């Protein structure tokens, strides 16, 4: 069993970002293990064969390999800003739409060539951008009336969602900055400048695996 909690993470992954923010606000100490998605360490694969970041290995040996579950675990320990307060079905619905159907469209928009051989790397798919925008309309409507998704204070909904909107906004920044969604634009800018976000975006050295690489693959 590890001496401390361990987090396998990748800096630019929206799922890992939200997990890191949950851990940060809860004040939970852990060993940060920065990984490359194309070269995942054996220790991480051993912890969870799902092989997605983030993965949390608790000091009691328990593994949490879903970002939202890491947030809930951390906030269950300590929730100083009451992120969990508006614990409603509505909040969960808002989160599920973004990490589910919206994220599917986002990935097809951003990584278009991965889904269509006729496209080259870096090409975007505007049909999927349009489809993603449809999902964003209700969020824009909410933010036209309140500063945050669940009212006047930030909650789990905002923190679980904005890393995905960040990724969407960054695909074509000039387009996003027009701005297409003025209230979402302002809301996102607020979170990107927030200390909790900038602090979890600090760079970490890559984790060096202590499991020896098999010699058999060497020529
Ligand atoms: N449902 C998972 C999804 C995590 C996820 O898909 N992470 C991506 C990176 S952003 C990943 O690790 N992909 C595996 C890969 O690229 O090999 C969660 O919420 O933690």
pLDDT per residue over 112-147, tens digit each?
999 988 889 999 999 999 999 999 999 999 999 999
For residues 95 and 91, what is the distance between their CA atoms, to the nearest angstrom? 6
Atom index in ligand 1 nearest the CA of residue 14 equals 10
Cβ within 8 Å of residue 181, ≥6 positions away: 133, 136, 139, 140
Identical fold, 6-81+200-217 and 89-198: no
| DSSP letter, residue 166 | H
Q: What's the pLDDT band for 81 if we cut at 50, 70, 90?
A: very high
Cis peptide before 52 (omega within 30 of 0): no
Cβ within 8 Å of residue 27, ≥6 positions away: 78, 80
Residue 3: predicted pLDDT: 85
| DSSP letter, residue 216 | G
144 C-alpha to center of ligand 1: Å?
Answer: 31
Domains in the chain: boundaries = 6-81+200-217, 89-198
Which of 52, 55, 110 maximizes ligand 1 atoms within 8 Å of its Cβ, making it the mutation to test the pocket?
52
Write phi, then psi, for 31 (nearest 5 degrees).
Answer: -85, 125
For residues 164 and 133, what is the distance between their CA atoms, to the nearest angstrom? 13
54 C-alpha to center of ligand 1: Å?
Answer: 7
- Helix (H) or strand (E) segment spanning residue 184: helix 182-193
* Level-2 CATH architecture, domain 89-198: Up-down Bundle (1.20)
Residue 217 has pLDDT above 60, yes or no: no
Residue 218: predicted pLDDT: 41
Q: What's the pLDDT band for 219 if we cut at 50, 70, 90?
A: very low
**Ligand 1 pocket by C-beta < 6 Å: which residues?**
10, 13, 15, 37, 52-54, 66-68
Write phi, then psi, for 57 (nearest 5 degrees).
Answer: -110, 110
Residue 213: predicted pLDDT: 66
User: Among the CATH numbers 3.30.70.890, 3.40.50.300, 3.40.30.10, 3.40.190.10, which is that of 6-81+200-217?
Assistant: 3.40.30.10
Give CA torsion, residues 8, 16, 197, 173, to 10 deg: 130
Atom index in ligand 1 nearest the CA of residue 54 equals 20
Which of 10, 11, 15 maximizes ligand 1 atoms within 8 Å of its Cβ, making it the mutation to test the pocket?
15
Residue 118 to residues 106, 113, 114, 122: CA-CA distances in angstroms?
A: 19, 7, 10, 12
164 C-alpha to center of ligand 1: Å?
Answer: 12
């Amino acid at each position: 069993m590890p001496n401390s909690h361990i987090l396998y993470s990748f800096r630019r992954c929206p799922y890992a970002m939200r997990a890191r923010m949950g851990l940060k606000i809860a004040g939970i100490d852990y060993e940060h293990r920065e990984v490359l998605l194309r070269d995942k360490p054996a220790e991480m694969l051993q912890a969870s064969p799902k092989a997605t970041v983030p993965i949390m290995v608790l000091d009691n040996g328990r593994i949490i390999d879903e970002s939202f579950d890491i947030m809930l675990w951390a906030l269950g320990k300590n929730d100083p800003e009451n992120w969990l307060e508006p614990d409603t079905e509505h909040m969960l619905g808002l989160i599920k739409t973004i990490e589910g159907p919206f994220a599917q469209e986002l990935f097809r928009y951003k990584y278009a060539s991965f889904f269509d051989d006729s496209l080259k790397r870096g090409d975007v798919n505007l049909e999927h951008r349009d489809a993603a925008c449809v999902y964003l309309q209700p969020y824009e409507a909410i933010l036209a009336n309140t500063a945050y998704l669940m009212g006047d204070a930030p909650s789990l909904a905002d923190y679980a969602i904005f890393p995905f909107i960040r990724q969407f906004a960054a695909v074509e920044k000039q387009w996003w900055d027009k701005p297409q969604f003025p209230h979402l634009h302002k809301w996102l800018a607020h979170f990107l400048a927030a200390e909790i976000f900038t602090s979890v975006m600090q760079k970490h050295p890559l984790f060096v695996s202590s499991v020896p690489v098999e010699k058999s693959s060497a020529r």
